Chains A and B, each alone.
Chain A
């Protein structure tokens, strides 16, 4: 009977596998249906507040029926990608130009028909931003520029009536400014901000050939320059956006580099002006040998908000009219007036009274459009890491940049070539054929038929459960696992056999233990699991022993309090802990400062996510807090099964309390603790929430574990779903192997006990 059931399962499995293999064949984008002329034009945007109100007002003044839909910013891209290929979604949509490369690749956007734009009316850098080659390599305009944003210099005029003309000039201000005021602040760790300095050296984050641009003498010197400013105390360390805002608001930074969004956070009482970013003297020296001393100005990245047309919108007769209406000079002026958005049109300048917007307009003319090609998405992570590593003085600029370039190549390297799936399909086909034949053969035997008929009512009882589990659980798991055999973008995946696995297991042909390699991450994951489980057990068992002592009063109160960490959703806990580890505002820093106040010591606040060990410790602390209640509850349960008189017998036999614990209590709760430990290990091994939310892999992905690494491959690095699925399958294999070994261990210890 067991053998029979096994066969039946195998047949079903083979069938499902074959079905899912067929189901994965590349989905073709359906051609959009032709809308009729009277249908309303649909437009999607992610605006809020005044920007949304201004858009609504502009749409209302359009002669025609328009559907306006506001989509939350975080979901915007995903919604477009889901709706447009099905012929649903908007005719027009508004998004930043830097997503164009991806949109083009996915077929979410069509080029504007020639002559749509009054090209002469647009700022040239805005036009450049929306210009990308089509599939035949011809440059096309893919969107109508609406507004532009870039970084600029905010100067506190009370502290700094005259701002220095060069970045280096700020270094001389440390003496003249009041104590505790930084001359300048910006998010120095961010590649977006650093790109402005690179611009002064004539370097982009990405080269024309779509290779990693941050290489060579200029890039290294730009990093050294910032490092020197940091060392000289000109810039605050580890500044993020919140800190920059905070410093400038409170007058602790004489100037900051930030975008127009900062203004919303500044109080009216603060006197400030917006100016052009300073020049970089060092860059001028390098470049102007023999050319005179033309200033090497910082060139921030320019983001151009654009109105784009979907394939469906291209066929809609009224879409072009709405586009023209929304991009008119009049619309630009209105946006500038009502929403204080800097129009991309030169004939819609900011009101002359608006010095703020005019300053940004001046800066925009010096800005470089952010590259919109898809390769740009692979730049941010390695570039930011290289900057951080240099500024933290973990690595010389040259080596950090070299490593970054390697990581960029890793992510950008072409996916494996398609493989012929014949072998797989043949095997699957043969298997399912064999399974089906076996089934038929068995079903034809009279005994089997009688048995089938007899058990028919039973099948009726379970069939809905089987179907439900099959569709909701088994199906996704099989499809997910099968994805590991594919590569390419989500909408055009192709079969590559085991190439993904080979690639991962050979560490992408790099050194086996290079940063981010499977083996290094595996070691971190195992260390993470081991440290966690040991601490979970130690703390959980200790607390359970204390709680189970009859002497303790208010036991049930403590018990409830100690279970609380368990009852809070883990992501809430993780975010709370991340807040506590914040270097500036975190509770841990608060405690350190409190200690300094009380004892007069000079302990430095710890930058928890700056080094591997502190970052790992922060993750560990969070997960220990999350995990010990489980072990405590299990231990408490196990302890109730330890008879009191056995402990008393040991006491009379001459055992000290410690000996009783070691020789009697612990061996007696062991059979319960082993399965709990195995379970805890598996949970910890896959504890995505804590790692992703607390350290986020910081510093530089060193604290990432396998599951968060898999997530990054799927969702932050060019959507390599097949690659991520291969990681998931490997994780499954490791855990399955480990827990099988664990189960054997349990059986063995049961035999002994």
Chain B
């Protein structure tokens, strides 16, 4: 018998940001969906319920007329379903195919990673967030998109401004101004390059959009480039850091990985399960319905907590531990269903095959800085915000 959505008043955004996992576990044990007053959304935390949601876009839609994302970025494919979504997704697919990633993007990522490490490898210590992970993700993203002459710091700033804008439920005018500035900057950067790609097709996303069977309109290009900038920078950045952090905290696993390079990609998958970079994303309930043991109403907003599902005890034993040797099973770090992360194969290559192995190979006796503890933060997006390390010169 389905019951109404229970309410939890005692879980604050601050608690979730510091460490969401105890709250996720409590919610998971309580009901299929729980209204968390401070977050103003019904959180869905069980693995099986999330699979149900992602396989049924009739009842649980990505479209949302009032979406802040649409206001900030334009109407991107992330807020479309069915054919409207498929047409745009198919247009950009050629840039993200695993074969294209391996043959075209891989050498470029290798080069970026090598140059970044060259710049600090003599220092003996660094914070990998600013010196490596953030520029690696940003420079890689600029290449994939095909944006020319954009500084990695600008792209990173735009990405953050767009994400802040999407989460700006309080309509803070300063956040709106920053998001608008980012949006204008991106439009200008796109305008600068489109003519080039009309005549010079290559594997970049901008080129794919122009040369697809169903070409993107300018509005579609702008919206989808923004959604890729907003959603494609922090995930590789955070998963680089989480993979390194997980390995540095577990010397036995690190030793096995260093002895067998092919295990880095397994470490990456485990990192994305352990601390999923996208912890929560929204869906809209389209009709009065039941999810698991809970009754939902038309118009309800539900927050799909893949970060919680990836620690669901019914799917993962000892889920809070980082263990690259756990039984291999599906995780939801890349989502599921039609909106499954388009950049999955890019991330696997950039993080698991290139960036993380190169750090361990280049920096002798890499270790956590004992005087400066790592900081991990966030719940909608989660990852290390500081990862100070040392190595032997």
Tell me if chain B binds chain A.
no
